[in-house]
Structure 1
Amino acid sequence: MYKSNPDPKVELPDDFYIPIPLNTNNITELSPFLVPQIHLGSPGLFMGMSVFMIFLGFPINALTVFSTLKYKKLRSPLNYILVNLAAGNMLVMMMGSTMAFYSFSQMYFVLGPTACKIEGFTATLGGMVSLWSLAVVAFERYLVICKPLGNFNFRSTHAIIGCIITWVFGIIASAPPLLGWSKYIPEGLQCSCGPEWYTVNNKWNNESYVIFLFSFCFGLPLSIIIFSYTKLLMTLHTVAKQQEQSASTQKAEREVTKMVIVMVLGFLMCWLPYASFALWVITHRGEPFDLRMASIPSVFSKASTVYNPIIYIFMNKQFRCCIMKLVFCGKSPFGEDDDVSGASQTTTVSSVSSSQVAPA
């Protein structure tokens, strides 16, 4: 067990934070930039985390981007958002997960404080881009299928604007710790970095940033996702009631309902533990907590690089078929027809199907 509020007589470092074990007041000897953090876990735990980090979803995301470059049929406006999602995931992989992999293999953040800031910034930026991409996908489905603006046609210009918005919002969320609003420090097992919300030093500075992240980068996109998919399900339910004798319509309603539940649960599984833990820490100042527990929500958020492509890319028949053709040298092992024309992407309320509701 660790004290979340160290003895005020102990000089606290600026570039890391470790709650002091009850039997010592020497923070320097525990620095995550200098010594293995074996006081937090066994070598086997660190090696297991190292393996987990390196085998996150880089292949899936790389195949998504490469498939779009290779197959012209994938370059539809909505697919731009899915490629943007993959790009955000790859940024997390190339910078965040790679540095974390090496650090876990050494059992401390051997790359130093500057690399910690780089890793924290890039992982946060990529994560925010991916997160906001999910919100853009949901809102696009709402505009196209529910038609609040009439016969709205989602064009390439709209997709590009959506992608730009995700990166602007990502920078707004990830840049402040580099500019003095909170900071990036090692977290959890001290081998990966993220925003600091543990200490009581600069309490308002840290707490206000966490509240900002929770509101702007979790609450707002989650609200957009829930609102959009709720409206979509209501629209589909109305269509199903009007076509009660249509087995295909009833089947589509059931399939879409399951699909939306998976999408929302996937979002919550990735980001709710991280947001909840951060809020708990800042609202329970002075209460003891096990710092190792901070690694769990961090791992869940980084694992979004695996969940998101599986949920959003592999639900897209075109992407799925093209990726399978790349992997299996030109032929999908499932025998799916990947010749989906642009015309099939057009959705009308009178003929809503599961493939039209999914990010396809």
Structure 2
Amino acid sequence: MSLLSLDVGPGVAALQSWAGPHALALGSNVTVVDKVLPDMLHMVDPHWYQFPPMNPLWHGLLGFVIGVLGFISMTGNGMVIYIFTTTKNLKTPSNLLVVNLAFSDFCMMAAMSPAMVINCYNETWVFGPLACELYGCAGSLFGCASIWSMTMIAFDRYNVIVRGIAAKPMTNNGALLRIAFIWLFCLAWTVAPFFGWNRYVPEGNMTACGTDYLNKDWLSRSYILVYSVFVYFLPLALIVYSYFYIVQAVSAHEKAMREQAKKMNVASLRSSEAANTSAECKLAKVALMTISLWFMAWTPYLVINYAGIFENATISPLATIWGSLFAKANAVYNPIVYGISHPRYRAALYKRFPALSCQASPDEAVSVASDSTTVSEKPAA
């Protein structure tokens, strides 16, 4: 029988029509899509049919890591919520934003981690199309809410530290209005795909769902582009702007205090200043850590989305794992940056959970979740 007349069967013929000759060049007609349930196939982009199945070890590793991250995140953020809402001296308007950030991160991992672990065990999405769309929406909603909560926290610190006594103190109602804006703004963006502006589909590893960044229709592309402006570039610019002027203001304040101490012929105006460590250095480190972790968390996912809408040839199923993993890891270290680095939080943590806390040093300089109204340092509670 001639190879030209060989009946390849409907499965391979379908694969050829979907993926082209590259799929057959792999030496097998088995693809990463083979385990996808029939009711999900209409959501799978043809791009993924050219890739062979992922090594089961990757699925196992991803499921294990996501499970661990979920446990750490829900525990850490749960403790932040509990301590900030039950400790009297932590119930400030500024800290409501920190609680909102912890709540958003907690919900993101509670909604996504268990589902991801189960799907990784089955090596495909097993909960059906509607759950896939809700999963993608939840990830987008809670991720967006976390990003804008961090932005509002940075704005609050800017208002307190840079503007000082000229700033209008934030009230509880003001904080609640900001939180309401965050959730309504993020909800508007994340429900848009349900009304035809983009859509939520399985990602390349077929165990998670997200926005459709492979659709070359300009209506779909426009959602990714506009969404990235308002949920990545704008928040990042505002956070960088805020921390730049915060560090600048604290540096100027420290310089003035050193000059005043010199005029008074004393070594320092602070009775408990740490040797060779100034407030602006500490705050600069916090600012650099905040911005760096934020950039590290969300940039890989942005790169994947932009690669998809402009040139999808470089996106593999394995690559989609890393974008998702880095974004979810953000919910793990946010409690560390915005909670544990807060002196009064650490004091409350030490009091209630001595075995888990990092006790604040007596010379603690600047509170990360600012609840002061001046640029002057305050001792840990």
* TM-score normalized with structure 1 length: 0.82
Q: Residues of 2 paired with 1:115 and 1:133: CA distance?
A: 26
Q: Which structure 2 residue ranges, 5 or more long, are not aligned?
A: 1-13, 41-47, 262-267, 363-369
Q: Residues of 2 paired with 1:304 and 1:321: CA distance?
A: 24
Partner of 1:234: 248
Identity %: 24
1:220 and 2:234 aligned: yes
For 2:324, which of 270, 295, 298 is the aligned residue?
Answer: 298
Name segments (4+ residues, structure 1) moved above 4 Å. Answer: 19-29, 245-250, 352-355
Count how many residue pairs are aligned between Structure 1 and Structure 2. Answer: 333
Larger radius of gyration: 2
Partner of 1:126: 142
Provide the aligned C-alpha RMSD in A: 3.2
For 1:140, which of 140, 145, 156 is the aligned residue?
Answer: 156
| One-letter code aligned to 1:334 | Q
Partner of 1:266: 293
1:279 and 2:318 aligned: no
Give the superposition deviation at 1:335: 7.1
Give the superposition deviation at 1:315: 1.2
Deviations 1:58-88 (A, max 9, x none): 1001111222343233211111111100111
Give the superposition deviation at 1:111: 0.9
Partner of 1:334: 359
Contact 2:164 2:374 in 1 (8 A): no
Give the superposition deviation at 1:325: 3.5
Partner of 1:40: 53
Q: Secondary structure at the match of 1:347?
A: coil
| One-letter code aligned to 2:292 | L
Contact 1:96 1:120 in 2 (8 A): no
Give the superposition deviation at 1:186: 1.4
Q: Which structure 1 residue ranges, 5 or more long, are not aligned?
A: 1-6, 13-18, 338-343
Contact 1:129 1:167 in 2 (8 A): yes
Q: Residues of 1 paired with 2:307 and 2:379: CA distance?
A: 38
Deviations 1:32-52 (A, max 9, x none): 3359x9943222221111111
Map 1:1-360 onto structure 2 (within 5 A): 10=17, 22-23=25-26, 30=34, 32-33=36-37, 39-56=52-69, 57-147=73-163, 150-200=166-216, 203-245=217-259, 248=273, 251-285=278-312, 287-328=313-354, 334=359, 345-349=371-375, 351-352=376-377
Give the superposition deviation at 1:8: 11
Structure 2 CA distance for partners of 1:182 and 1:20, relative to 1, 3 Å = farther
Q: Residues of 1 paired with 2:120 and 2:354: CA distance?
A: 34
Deviations 1:172-216 (A, max 9, x none): 22111121111111113111111010233xx21221111012101
* TM-score normalized with structure 2 length: 0.78
Structure 2 CA distance for partners of 1:239 and 1:70, relative to 1, 3 Å = closer
Give the superposition deviation at 1:143: 0.8
Deviations 1:147-180 (A, max 9, x none): 1882421211121111111111211221111211
Contact 2:30 2:52 in 1 (8 A): no
Q: Residues of 2 paired with 1:308 and 1:180: CA distance?
A: 33
Give the superposition deviation at 1:301: 0.6
Normalized per residue, the structure richer in helix is 2
